[in-house]
Structures are given as C-alpha cells and as structure tokens.
Amino acid sequence: MLFHIPGIFSPAEVAQIRQALEQAEWVDGKVTAGYQSAKAKHNLQLPEDSPLARDISESMLQRLWLNPLFMSAALPHKVFPPLFNCYTAGGSFDFHIDNAIRQVRNSPERVRTDLSATLFFTEPDEYDGGELVIQDTFGTQRIKLPAGDLLLYPATSLHKVEAVTRGARLASFFWTQSLVREDSQRSLLFEMDQAIQSLTRDVPEHPALIQLTGNYHNLLRRWAEV
C-alpha cells in the first residue's frame, strides 16, 4: 500500500529547512547507491555526516515516532537515519529497487528496508518533472506531494524519479524496518486499526470493540518480529 502522510513539517518549518538546504554543500548522490543503482542515479546528496543532515534527521525522527498515521501504517521497529537529495538540471534516478539491507554509517546496526519513504521539501509547482514513479501490484503511480508531506511505500517496489527539467526538487528519503515484514499483513493490520479508531470515536461503548482490538493484537503478536 501507498500512504500519504501530510504535515510532517509546517510551511514555516519547511521554509526554514529549505533555506538551510539551499546553502548547503552537496555531493554526488552515487555515494550511497549500490552497484546497479549507481548506474541509474544522477542527483546530488547531502553528506551523511553533515551537521545539517543530522539536525534535520533528528527532528524528522522525533515527529515520525509521534505521528499516529506513520506508526499505524509502518509499525516501525527501526528507522534508517534520513538522507537528503536534490534533483536539478536534468537530474534523475532510473528504475531500481532499493537495497534489502542498509548499514547505518559508523555503526554496526543494520536495517532491513521493508518500507521506503520520501518527504518533500519543494512544492509541486516549483519544478517540472521530478515525479516519483512507483510500480507494484497496485499499478503505476506518479507522485508529487506538497512540501512537508511524506510518502510511504513498499521498498520491494520498482520505482524511479523522473528528470527535473525546471527548478530543483529537494527531499529527504529513508527506510523503515517494520515489526511486520509482509506488506499484505501490515495492510490488514492498518485497516483493522483504522476501523478500531473509527468505532472508538463514533460508538465507544460498542461491545465489538473489545473483540476487534483483541484480534488486532493477536495478529500483531503472531506476525511481529522483534
């Protein structure tokens, strides 16, 4: 499933982050690409050890762990520290599938990439091209989200970023290792959780709530890997 999670950052916060990113020193985006992906990747990236990257990354992670929609959809176990890229002057990233395992820089920790995510820092009308194109069992999707919004999607998906022919596309990208590896199982749990929340809001005394909530946690207990 694809999840559009709005408002990770407010417009004022996006403006502040963009100002800092536009003044940053960027490097070739191939530095974090695998062998095959490097052939297809043509963009710029903020160095992983950049103080600016660390500051924005920490702020993002704090918000993600407090975001109910992200928590329900991703069921996160580990989140790879967010990275930052810039596409401009024809920059693109051809079709690829993300590496299955990512090694956290200067750390023995590894993250299995169950879910990929892109957080946009540029409004869609500020650049031409730059669509995130995702192919999976749900068909082909072409996506440009408002600045401050996040797209979450299965890392098993074949995807690309179209060439940016005007302006610049600034974004963050990262991966999540979920408590539940299988996308179909996560989707079922998400739909159950949303139903529980709706019932809790609309008919909080309904007796089925106890059974439905119990079934949710029993499925999570069955499928979770910790």
Residue 42 has pLDDT above 90, yes or no: no
pLDDT of residue 29: 78
pLDDT of residue 221: 98
Region 72-95 average pLDDT: 96
- CATH no., domain 183-223: 4.10.860
Q: Is 98 labelled as part of a ligand binding site?
A: yes
Fold type of domain 3-178: Jelly Rolls (2.60.120)
pLDDT of residue 130: 98
Q: Is 169 labelled as part of a ligand binding site?
A: yes
Residue 39 has pLDDT above 70, yes or no: no
68-77, 132-141, 163-172: which range is least confident on average?
A: 132-141
Residue 123 has pLDDT above 60, yes or no: yes
Q: Is 102 labelled as part of a ligand binding site?
A: no
Q: Taking the model in full, what pTM does it have?
A: 0.92
Name the average pLDDT for the chain. 94
As a whole-number percent, the residues of the chain with pLDDT over 70 amount to 96
Q: Per-domain residue ranges for the chain?
A: 3-178, 183-223
Per-residue three-class SS string for the chain: CCEEECCCCCHHHHHHHHHHHHCCCCEEHHHHCCHHHHHHEECEECCCCCHHHHHHHHHHHHHHHCCHHHHHHHCEEEECCCEEEEEECCCEEEEECCCCEEECCCCCCEEECCEEEEEECCCHHHCEECCEEEEECCEEEEECCCCCCEEEEECCCEEEECCEEECEEEEEEEEEEECCCCHHHHHHHHHHHHHHHHHHHHCCCCCHHHHHHHHHHHHHHHHCCC
